[in-house]
Amino acid sequence: MTGTTAPVARQHQDIPETVARLRDTFDSGVTRPVAWRRRQLQALRRMLLDHASAIEEALYDDLRKGRTESHLTEIGGVLAETEHALRHLGRWTRPRRVAVPLNIKLATARVHPEPLGVCLIIAPWNYPLTLTLNPLVGALSAGNAAVVKPSELAPATSALLADLLPRHLEAVTVVEGAVEETTTLLAQRFDHIFYTGNGTVGRIVATAAAKHLTPVTLELGGQSPAFVDETADMAVTARRLAWGKFTNAGQTCVAPDYVLVTRAARDSLLAELPGAVREMFGVDPRAGSDYGRIVNDRHFHRLTGLMGAGDLLTGGDFDAEDRYIAPTVLTDVPPQAPVMAEEIFGPILPVLTVRDVHEAVDFINARDKPLSLYAFTRDRAARRALLEETSSGGLVYNAPMIHLGVPNLPFGGVGESGMGAYHGKTSFDTFSHHKPVLSKPTRHDTLRLVYAPHTSRSFALIARAVSRTHPLLGRKR
């Protein structure tokens, strides 16, 4: 595949030319046919399968991810998203007929999905394969050309994607680099920008996009709470919290950031958590192959600075040279502690005690809207209160993170946790323009009624038609 393949832009000076070349490719129409889109998705699938070992090595180099975790949370996730798109692409791309009102009778109306153009995908470092390629699946499914900007904080994965993507995909180019390259990219005109990261950079992306009126999808973060009450199965709850919090050493945007546990459930939960951590990661997680490391020194020192709040239940060990922080649970953490003031993005789990679900709702609502909310409870009233009285990007009962594995569920934030969504059909919609197309035949010119000059007869006919469509407007006053 070399005809429309765009090479990697090695320096920021190459970026305007690279984007212009991709726009020429898109304007040529090569990306529009459904057959082309299907070939790209199949090529992406082959790339993941053929180079799985190299991907595993890159993820280990960047984050010390184990082989199993790499397949569960990275390679397997992208394969599932790709397979879902291949299975449903024909239906997604088919024009959809819609009804027309009686006063425009004889017309037909359809909604035609069409590609937006050249899209920019800016990816983060914590899941450097999944969070780069899953949005790309949506962009390719919708028939777009794309610039992919992997994170410089995951250099091994970034370099591998820069090597593999242009070799396997057409109309996709990779730009490696850091702030300078990202700034140059954001100065270009794109037809959609998809950014995953933090709110500070999200605001920069949105400001740059506004100059070109470019739509954006912002997948951000914030603190995602978990609520636990006395009706939960504590052993299962502890295991699932430990898995959700300490996978990838806590560097997950939808990891539970803190736990709000009722007074009646507190002692039972705290009794189970240390054992759940040991069961999953061993007495010394540092010695096992299933526990990762912090991505860089800056994040390591930020995290160790957050560990002084409350009382230590388990963990607390760290090693700066290895960038290792043990799975750590803190209890009786003050709400105003620094660890409660920001997205933790690391293996520290504060536990706070609340009276009941109503106090938990008030606590959640006093903060920014979270990306995810987890509720471990069998109580229907508690579930209903969390569903109806809080707002979050997603709500999951009795498990963390697994909603990301459901392609038919849109994934995205609300408020400070982001805007827009993706996964499955939602990804296709995000990267498409759904163009309304209406056809009105000329054989019977039923529009003559609305032409000027208007008479008392035409007014009466129009008023009668309006009253049929909107009965309240036809009432005598």
Low-confidence ranges of the chain (pLDDT < 70): 1-13, 468-477
Which sequence positions are flagged as catalytic?
A: 219, 253
| Residue percentage of the chain with pLDDT more than 90 | 87
**28 domain-assigned:** yes
What residues pair up with 385 in beta bridges, in sequence order? none
What residues pair up with 422 in beta bridges, in sequence order? 411
How much is the CA Rg of the chain, to the nearest whole Å? 26
Query: Is omega for the bond preceding 453 within 30 degrees of 0, making it cis?
Result: yes
Residues 74 and 212 in one domain: yes
SS3 content of the chain, % helix, strand, coil (to 5): 50, 20, 35
Residues 338 and 458 in one domain: no
Token output for 122? 């800016």
What's the total number of domains in the chain? 3
Q: What is the pTM of this model?
A: 0.93
Token output for 260? 């709000």
Residues 46 and 71 in one domain: yes
Contact 350, 337 (CB under 8 A): yes
**441 domain-assigned:** no
Residues 262 and 299 in one domain: yes
pLDDT score for 310: 93
Query: What three-state secondary structure class fits 220?
Result: coil
**417 domain-assigned:** no
The answer for residues whose C-beta is within 8 angstroms of residue 471's C-beta and 6 or more apart is none
Classify each residue of 363-396 as buried b or exposed e, where b means 16 or more C-beta atoms within 10 Å of its C-beta: bbeeebbbbbbbbbbeeeebbebbeeebebbbbb
* Sign of torsion over alpha carbons 241, 246, 248, 254: positive
Note down the domain range covering 456: 447-477
Residues 241 and 169 in one domain: no
Instruction: Report CA dihedral (24, 26, 28, 32) to the nearest 10 degrees.
Output: 180
pLDDT score for 2: 40
Token output for 202? 């999200």
pLDDT score for 445: 80
**416 domain-assigned:** no
pLDDT digit string, tens, across residues 181-211: 999 999 999 999 999 999 999 999 999 999 9
Residues 237 and 91 in one domain: no
Classify each residue of 159-198 as buried b or exposed e, where b means 16 or more C-beta atoms within 10 Å of its C-beta: bbbbebbbebbbbbbbbbbeeebbebbbebbbbbbbbbbb
Residues 85 and 199 in one domain: yes
